[in-house]
Amino acid sequence: MAVIGLDVGTSGVKSTVLDDNARVIAHAYREYDLLCPAEGQYELDPRVLLKGALEVIRESAGKAGTDIEAISVTSFGESFVCLDERDEVLCNTMIYMDKRGAEECAEYLALRSEMDIFARCGHYVDPMFGIYKIRWMQKHCPKLMAKMRRICFIADFITYKLGAAHKCDYSLAARSAMFDVFDKVWIDEALAFAGLDRAMLPEAVPGGSTVGEVSPAIAQELGLGTGVKLIVAGHDQVAAVMGSGAWEAGETANGMGTTDCITAVLSAEGLDYESLIRNSLTLVPYLDSGRFVTYAFNVSGGCAVKWFRDTLAKDIAEREDAYALLNQEAPSEPTDLIVLPYLAGSGTPYMDGNTPCVFAGLRLGTDRGKLFRGLLEGETYEMMVNIECLKECGVEVEKVITVGGGSNSPLWMQIRADIFGRDIYLPENKEAGTLGTAILCYVGMGRYASIPEAQKKMISFSKKFTPDAASHAHYAAKYQKYKKLYAMAKELFA
């Protein structure tokens, strides 16, 4: 028995074939480019995403040499795909970093208070979310929107094109800010504001739901057998927290992909809306558990490190070991640099798209290795800010389970342990998103009776990084300067 976990990210798509013991049988990856048509605009071509998804499924299934019984798909959130009456893609998809929709946020706030909005959709008002970008498109692209007959979110766009019904999971529906996260229905007032008919939207179902089978034509094209189930896993952060082993309220996981995100599981009881709004933290249904997850994140996470590789390390950027070489160039001791890593803006709690990246403390002796370590330190300071925000909302992060591409760097993991002052745990399988999708497959097929049982059987830990006392003391002092630098830069670039 084998399944495919498909993870569609903003910088690439990966397909992993796993057996029911979480053993990786095969893997494939395709990277694609972010499109920046204008200042503050960030897009991806859904056709490129679909092409990449089909390629990695075909490649990984071919390598596996065994029958595939199910494919479960997870993806980045907030974005949507517009389809016409023939189900053809109408335009590129705006991603979360895109600033279009800011004026539309003000329009919505003129109609109802942010507390009223949050109390239904579980999300503060920000142009990141789909409702505001759809409203923007209705105003600025009316001819295109007149042709639209269907909206998909990214994971369900892939499952739909593979042969599934038009269904999405609760978590991606929630990231549109048009979905009632408590009653699990679309909000009529939000749809009216966005100018959408309910029939255009997918049916919302719990993550882990089987939504169809791969169509015979596509199965033949991809080298798959018949009857391959399609399971919608939803938002990649939800899949990652599940693949990290977190299930009960208070448990957390740190997914280090394009976005650096600490996902915390929350009880549905005793939620403090004011603290959540103040820290720009949202409520997203955690499958059908009755609990929520919230995301404390920085959008300039892995994409900032990728920018460094592609811009300041062009001589090695094409090498597979480029990041390992940069780790080797970096000094072994903490730097005196202070870096605000906001190459694509910040995330929680500031949601600041104006303040840019700042490298402070450079001297003639500053080399590329020190700049690289300084960037890793700055990104970690930013996540320390988020750990403090979670604490204010009642979530005490006692240990950090770290997954995703960034967790492959021992240097960065030790920096995290030293700055956080907490142990950093690495699962055996660092691709928690695809592992989470595999868990959903095996639970859905009856191999395991529950997600906690599957987590216990399929997740193990390989390494722990412990804080160094001297480095932690150094970083604690620098952390206070980091927060001061942000305040100064924010005022300077306001």
Average pLDDT, the chain: 95
Within this chain, do residues 204 and 281 fall inside the same structural domain, yes or no?
Answer: no
Please count the structural domains in the chain. 2
Residue type for position 369: G
Together in a domain, 148 and 258: no
What residue has token string 């034509």? 217
Residues 154 and 256 grouped into a single domain: no
Shared-domain flag, residues 298 and 328: yes
Last residue of a domain, one of 242, 265, 281: 242
Mean pLDDT along residues 148-159: 98
Q: Are residues 233 and 254 in the same domain?
A: no
pLDDT (0 to 100) of residue 95: 95
Mean pLDDT of 170-195: 97
The answer to whether residues 151 and 260 belong to one domain is no
Are 253 and 217 found together in one domain? no
CATH number at residue 161: 3.30.420.40
Specify the DSSP class assigned to residue 200: G
CA-wise closest residue to 241 among 12, 4, 432, 476: 432
Degrees (nearest 5) of the Cα angle 177, 188, 272?
45
Domain boundary among 182, 212, 242: 242
Least confident stretch, 58-62, 250-254, 333-337, 464-468: 250-254
Range of the domain at 8: 2-242
Domain end among 242, 257, 280: 242
* Whether residues 254 and 215 fall in one domain: no
Please give the pLDDT value at position 65.
86
Q: Do 172 and 31 belong to one domain?
A: yes
Confidence category of residue 263, pLDDT binned at 50, 70, 90: very high
Residue (of 28, 35, 110, 37) closest to 71 by Cα position: 28
> What's the average model confidence in pLDDT over 406-429?
94
Mean pLDDT of 408-413: 96
CA distance 288 to 170: 9
Query: What sections of 279-428 are H helices per DSSP?
Result: 302-312, 322-329, 368-392, 410-420
Cα distance between residue 384 and residue 338, in whole Å: 14
Q: Is the pLDDT of residue 278 over 80?
A: yes
Closest alpha carbon to 296 in 237, 224, 232, 339: 237
pLDDT in tens, 71-85: 999 999 999 999 999
Are residues 233 and 252 part of one domain?
Answer: no
Question: pTM score, two decimals?
Answer: 0.87
pLDDT, residue 405, reads 87
The tens digit of pLDDT for each residue in 64-116 reads 988 999 999 999 999 999 999 999 999 999 998 898 999 999 999 999 999 99
Report the pLDDT averaged over residues 290-297.
95
Amino acid, res. 32? Y
Mean pLDDT over residues 173-198, rounded? 97
Residues 279 and 386 grouped into a single domain = yes
- Which helix (H) or strand (E) segment holds residue 3: the answer is strand 2-8
pLDDT of residue 270: 87
**pLDDT value, residue 308:** 97
Helix 236-243 and helix 432-444, axial crossing angle in degrees, nearest 10? 80
Q: Are residues 187 and 89 in the same domain?
A: yes
Give the pLDDT confidence score for residue 22 in this predicted structure. Answer: 79
**Rounded Cα–Cα distance for residues 372 and 377 (Å):** 9
Sign of CA dihedral 13, 297, 241, 230: negative
